Amino acid sequence: MALMITDDCINCDVCEPECPNDAISMGIEIYEINPSKCTECVGHYEKPQCQIVCPIACIPIHPEFIENQEQLLQKYNQLHPKKIHLGKV
């Protein structure tokens, strides 16, 4: 499941540096999450760091990119081939 940033975003700049996959970048008006890079922090942290730091809770699960934990871990392994994570998520 990739996450997404809603139109409620206030561009506070706290989410972008927290993303370990560099999936968050500034869009035309608000920050955006690249679903092909978002693993919901699987492989890095237990919880999505962007959701934790967001002061207005505008980062829900993207309904068009539903993935299970195994798929997210596989995406993590593709994004970080030198850091293969084999353990439980």
CATH number assigned to the domain comprising residue 52: 3.30.70.20
Determine the structural domain holding residue 51 and report its residue range.
16-83
Answer whether 53's CB lies under 8 Å from 24's CB: no
Residues 10-41 pLDDT 10s = 999 999 999 999 999 999 999 999 999 999 99
pTM strictly above 0.95? no
Helices (H) and strands (E) in the chain, counts: 2, 2
Number of domains within the chain: 1
